[in-house]
Amino acid sequence: MADMIKLRGVKRYYDVGGEIVRALDGVDLTIKYNEYISIMGPSGSGKSTMMNMIGCLDSPTEGTYEFEGEKVHEMDDNQLASIRNRKIGFVFQTFNLLPKLTALRNVELPLIYANVPREDRLEKAKIALEKVSLLDRMHHKPNELSGGQRQRVAIARALVTNPSIILADEPTGNLDSKSGAEIMNVLDDLYNEGNTVILVTHEAYIAEHAHRTLHILDGKIKDDVIKNKPKTKITVLKKKTPA
């Protein structure tokens, strides 16, 4: 199986008032298709920076990053926007839905930037909402939805473009445990359908869902644990391969 993601010696330094913060300090990481990875580590250890790096929101200060063979570290802003749009689905701790738009319009948004015609957009957005069981709430605005529902809308938005990878940075961090469990079910399903999922979490029982756990400390990968069997049952297996 081909590698999807290859980080080699990736560093990301921040200059905070003359002091250099090494948010990422030499990361080597390879991710294959249909992996389910959790990232753990104390606050400030560089988890979010790593997710942003993988998600092409950020570029390395040093090192190389290849995504499906494309050299991300050499890309300009437009290329980065395009790869984020086509290949990456983000899920944030704070949902980050646009408050004035309905669930449907929020989910539709990435397709607008992908220049998909309106009819197709609506259809795809509805399918994505169906996947997170929120079709009946598609005309609701975020403030008319519960936290768990909002996060599911965010997940629908992340997967509507059929991305290569879904990145969820503490997706359950702002949710009660019941809503959190719902979200984890959705992520498990996505993985089982053949998607590649990375999630950041503080909770061991959430990290358990993944089959591979990265422990990060001071911007470095301290531990990379691969379990043979993921905890979740595999029901459907539809492997995603690069187009």
Ligand X SMILES: Nc1ncnc2c1ncn2[C@@H]1O[C@H](COP(=O)(O)OP(=O)(O)O)[C@@H](O)[C@H]1O
| Binders of ligand X in range 19-38 (CB under 6 A) | 21, 23
Binding of Mg ion at residue 45 (CB under 5 A)?
Answer: no
CA angle 123, 81, 220 (to 5 degrees): 115
Distance CA 57, CA 28 (A): 18
Residue 152 contacts which entry, Mg ion, other proteins, ligand X, none (Cβ below 5-8 A, type-dependent): none
Residue 142 contacts which entry, other proteins, Mg ion, ligand X, none (Cβ below 5-8 A, type-dependent): none
Distances (CA, A) of 187 to 50, 77, 166: 19, 29, 9
User: Is 180 strand, coil or helix?
Assistant: helix
Radius of gyration of the chain (CA): 17
Which is closer to Mg ion, CB of 64 or CB of 93? 93
Residue 46 contacts which entry, Mg ion, ligand X, other proteins, none (Cβ below 5-8 A, type-dependent): ligand X
- Shortest distance, position 219 Cβ to ligand X, whole Å: 7
Which is closer to Mg ion, CB of 125 or CB of 154? 154
Binding of ligand X at residue 197 (CB under 6 A)?
Answer: no
Binding of ligand X at residue 47 (CB under 6 A)?
Answer: yes
Which is closer to other proteins, CB of 79 or CB of 185? 79
| Binders of ligand X in range 207-226 (CB under 6 A) | none
Which is closer to ligand X, CB of 88 or CB of 128? 88
Contact 175, 151 (CB under 8 A): yes
Which is closer to other proteins, CB of 117 or CB of 178? 117
Burial of 126 (0-12, 13-18, 19+ CB in 10 A): middle
Which is closer to ligand X, CB of 130 or CB of 224? 224
Q: Which two tokens stand for residue 173?
A: 């961090």
- Shortest distance, position 130 Cβ to other proteins, whole Å: 20
Contact 30, 224 (CB under 8 A): no
Distances (CA, A) of 4 to 31, 54, 81, 169: 6, 11, 18, 19
User: Is 12 strand, coil or helix?
Assistant: strand
Q: Where are the alpha helices (DSSP H) in 24-146?
A: 47-54, 77-87, 103-113, 118-131
Which is closer to other proteins, CB of 102 or CB of 232? 102
Q: Which residue is nearest to Mg ion (CB)?
A: 48
Distance CA 177, CA 33 (A): 29
**Can you give the binding site for other proteins, defined by CB under 8 A?**
52, 55, 57-58, 77-78, 81-82, 84-86, 90, 92, 96-98, 100, 109-110, 112-118, 121, 157, 161
Positions in the binding site for Mg ion (CB under 5 A) = 48
Positions in the binding site for ligand X (CB under 6 A) = 14, 16, 21, 23, 41, 43-49
